Structure 1
């Protein structure tokens, strides 16, 4: 008897379990760099929640945050790393596989 393959949920990445972290990666998936204010506006989240999401994803190597100035005002720009884009793509593929399983008969 052949071993059954693992359920696709085992391929989900817990780093994207938070809706804010998931949405953040989705906003950056096309290898774009966005500033903090733009991300907060797009994701409709407060500064604290966004800052925590960025810090978490940066700590696992999925994002890179670059700090600088526009005039005398500090700014933070964020972009996904190659590892982050790959991990997010795998997570989305696992979600699609889970949905596809829902339509199959046992």
Structure 2
């Protein structure tokens, strides 16, 4: 039996963001932008969606005079990502 894949994580950019964040303690906005090849605007929108779902936390500070946005995966986000991966593996093993 197939479980529904989490539509919030299933989006290509949000999946990329979650995949990066699950493997690091935290990531700066610029790092995520470079790794995902996303535009700043699109990345901001997708980060906001993940934050609203409590999958990630976002901290906005300054590094010297420059704004600094730091993203971290939450426990809830890590659990949702783990479930997503397990559910996807069921799809991949069905053949």
1:52 partnered with 2:39 = no
1:99 partnered with 2:95 = no
CA distance in 2, matches of 1:20, 1:30: 16
In structure 2, stretches of 5+ residues that fail to align are none
**Matched residue of 1:8: which SS?**
coil
Structure 1 stretches of at least 4 aligned residues deviating more than 4 Å after TM superposition: none
What's the RMSD between the two structures over aligned residues? 1.0
Question: How many corresponding residue pairs?
Answer: 95
Higher Rg of the two aligned structures:
1
The aligned counterpart of 1:4 is none
Matches within 5 A, 1:27-106: 27-102=20-95
The normalised TM-score by structure 1 is: 0.85
CA distance in 2, matches of 1:8, 1:79: 30
In structure 1, stretches of 5+ residues that fail to align are 1-6
Question: How far off its partner does 1:31 sit?
Answer: 4.5
The normalised TM-score by structure 2 is: 0.95
CA distance in 1, matches of 2:16, 2:32: 10
